[in-house]
Amino acid sequence: MQKVPVYLYNNTVEILLDLDQNIRVNNIMYQKNISIQRGLKNRLQLQFKNSDQKLVDVSSSTFVFSMFDDTDQRLLIEKPVEILDDGATRSLRGLAQVTFAETDTLNLESVYYKFAVKRMATDGSFEPTYANTYYGVGGTLKLEHDVEPVLKPSVEISSFQMVYNADGDKLRYEWNSGNINAHPEYKNAGALNTCAFYMTAYRGQVIVEGTLENNPGTFGNYAVIATLNYNQFTGIDYVNFNGIFSKIRVKYIPSKNPANNQNNDISYTGTFDKLLYRC
């Protein structure tokens, strides 16, 4: 049996405060880069120290965390810093944290960003803190995307294949989407599929079909999944269904115009404009 180690630890960055008159400086060459995960709740701990690497009491201080685009310095996130230092507990001395909600990073690209921490002075203005002992104000934060899946765009079809059905009393035109890959290799038994239909004053049927054949032809072995009827419908309608299929096909059959017994007169049937499919 394979065993996979999983580590839980605090994501901590050291912040230097220029609050003392200490001439001797314990130099640190650089500040480590911080990594957080996009689309998840992240807690980033801030450890405040002085230039001699001693922990600083920040129990009565106020700080603000800012994150910038590394290219054009656009402010993307600004959050108040939560002070964990209670002024008495040694293990909490100089400790604070910033919490990122899932939505804070969900729409950001997975690249490098700059961050800075500002301290509020007694007059209400802000003073800089430092990311290293060389008075570098900005630190580097990398937004990772290792956990959340990337959503793929829906399959969009606006051009349909026209077939004339001369079978018996049908004598009608039918339009179908052709074979759409349903990616069965990525699904489990309860796989959700969604078809969205865009229509303008449409009269007729819309039929959703599925097959287990890998390469079905025009008259492949398709089974009907859903049949929907419309009478001058304008807007967007959809159908959800579960199952694993190799291919999906959507067929629409306009109603016949009673005046001429034809179903290709769009002045009567309206139009089926577009199909979106997601699996």
Question: What pTM does this model have?
Answer: 0.58
Q: Of how many residues is the chain composed?
A: 279
Give the sign of the dihedral formed by CA 16, CA 126, CA 116, CA 148: positive
Please give the pLDDT value at position 221.
Answer: 83
Q: How far is CA 64 from CA 48, 80, 83, 89, 147, in A?
A: 13, 5, 11, 23, 28
Are the CB atoms for 198 and 274 separated by under 8 Å?
Answer: yes
Which residue, of 89, 113, 144, is where some domain finishes? 144
Token reading at 248: 């999906």
Provide the domain limits for residue 44: 11-144
The position carrying tokens 């120290």 is 49
Would 185 be classed as within a structural domain? Answer: yes
Would 263 be classed as within a structural domain? Answer: yes
**193 and 128 assigned to the same domain:** no
Token reading at 219: 């008259």
**111 and 176 assigned to the same domain:** no
Number of domains in the chain: 2
User: Residues 266-269: contacts with CB within 8 Å, 24+ apart?
Assistant: 268/203, 269/202, 269/203, 269/204
pLDDT tens digits in sequence order for the chain, 279 residues long? 655 566 566 788 887 776 655 555 555 555 677 889 988 899 999 888 887 778 889 999 999 999 999 788 899 999 999 999 999 999 999 899 999 998 898 888 889 999 989 988 888 888 888 776 667 788 888 998 887 766 778 899 999 999 888 887 788 999 999 999 998 887 776 788 999 999 999 999 999 999 988 888 766 688 999 999 999 999 999 999 998 899 999 999 999 999 988 899 999 999 999 999 998
**124 and 177 assigned to the same domain:** no
**140 and 162 assigned to the same domain:** no
Token reading at 50: 């002085």
**131 and 233 assigned to the same domain:** no
**138 and 183 assigned to the same domain:** no
Query: What is the domain-level CATH number for residue 78?
Result: 2.60.40.3350
Would 73 be classed as within a structural domain? Answer: yes
